[in-house]
Amino acid sequence: MAQAHEARDRLIAAHGWSVDAVEILPVLASGDRIQDRPLAEIGGKALWTKELDAALGEGEIDFAVHSMKDVETIRPDALTIAALLPRADVRDVLIGATSIAAIPQGARLGTSAPRRAAQMRNLRPDIDITGFRGNVATRLAKLQAGEADVTLLASAGLGRLGETGVGRPLDADEWLPAPAQGAIGIECRTDDNPMRAWLAAIDHAPTRAQVIAERALLLALGGNCHSPVAVLTTGSDRLTMRAAIFSPDGAIRIENSAAFDADDTAAPAKLARALLSEAPEAVTAFFTGSPG
């Protein structure tokens, strides 16, 4: 809802509309309703988009607001990501310890994200992973109740909810974020030209360049909700991308980087192939891309 309000406010500001020009229609996604199992077991990222896709298709809404890291890499041709808002802080925040090194031996990390679990196991093999899902308030309550010793949340989400003093942001050089983390995307029907034009006014070019490149990397890797993949992209016209893929147990980490022009659509796929070519079967088994 915080993201929807940000999108509305930016549209109003860009076009000089009145406050009531944009109506926010709450839609409860399956990902919100089903919280007792990891997403990878019950339908993956589609659980965040299918209800909104249906509402768009039936004309109940004119555009949908998404956390881009939760949007499937392949989208229906009938829908278009018409705007990407300026990207927020891409970092993860560690809650329950002052640093990764300071986490007590054998502590429990609460997360259901394969990337977070594998990256933590790579750095701290002694740490146990316990399943943790829900919104920010739910996860913080679970941590407070002792269901885990530490957890990780996206800095962007915490910031949008005003929870800026919670935990310690992890340096992106030490801890890579998820593809498209911190980015809000606005999707509409492809054939709705007036809406696409209105949304284009709030599209942020540097964010679009980074997010499109990261989604292209994920597509070429053949990554899904089971795939431990992390990536950090910086720049605008010229991008620098650093990416890593892991075995689920974190024992194997394959990392590589590339610098390329934002309009070089082949570069992310080339980096994906380089990662896969270096990776053993214990890693590539969780990706469907081809290194060839």
Q: Which domains does the chain have, with CATH numbers?
A: 1-85+183-203 (3.40.190.10), 92-169 (3.40.190.10), 205-292 (3.30.160.40)
Q: What is the pLDDT of residue 282?
A: 94
The confidence score (pLDDT) of residue 79 equals 96
How does the average pLDDT of the chain come out, rounded? 92
pLDDT confidence of residue 132? 87
Q: Which residues contact 139 (CB under 8 A, 6 or more apart)?
A: 110, 132, 133, 151, 153
pLDDT (average), residues 176-187: 97
Confidence of residue 37 (pLDDT cuts 50, 70, 90): low
CA 160 to centroid of chain Cα atoms: 15
Q: Look at residue 34 in the predicted model and tell me its pLDDT.
A: 56
Span 81-104, pLDDT tens digits: 999 999 999 999 999 999 999 999
Contact call for residues 198 and 15 (beta carbons, < 8 A): yes
| Model confidence at 35: pLDDT above 60 | no
Residue 186 in 3-state DSSP?
A: strand
Q: What is the mean pLDDT of residues 54-62?
A: 94
Question: What's the pLDDT score for residue 188?
Answer: 98
Q: How confident is the model at residue 17 (pLDDT cuts 50, 70, 90)?
A: very high
What is the per-residue pLDDT for 38? 55
**8: which residues sit within 8 A by CB, 6+ positions away?**
22, 24
Give the C-alpha separation, 266 to 12, whole Å.
36
Could you give the angle at the alpha carbon of 157 between the alpha carbons of 10 and 213, nearest 5°? Answer: 75
At residue 186, the pLDDT reads 98
DSSP string computed for 118-143: HHHHHH-TT-EEE---S-HHHHHHHH
Q: Which of 70, 92, 149, 192 is catalytic?
A: 70
Confidence of residue 30 (pLDDT cuts 50, 70, 90): low
Report which of residues 102 and 49 the model is more confident about.
102
Q: Is the pLDDT of residue 46 over 80?
A: no
* Cα 250 to Cα 13: distance, rounded to the nearest angstrom: 45
Please give the single-letter amino acid code of residue 29. Answer: A
Name the percent of the chain lying above pLDDT 70: 93
Q: How many CB atoms lie within 10 A of CB 256?
A: 16
Tens digits of residue pLDDT in 120-162: 999 999 999 999 878 888 899 999 999 999 999 999 999 999 9
More confident residue, 106 or 224: 106
pTM of the model: 0.91
Provide the pLDDT for residue 44: 55
Amino acid, res. 213: A
pLDDT given for residue 32 in this prediction: 63
Average pLDDT over residues 231-241: 97
Whether residue 275 is predicted with pLDDT greater than 80 in this model: the reply is yes
How many whole angstroms separate alpha carbon 248 and alpha carbon 228?
A: 6
Q: Is 70 annotated in the active site?
A: yes
Confidence of residue 224 (pLDDT cuts 50, 70, 90): confident
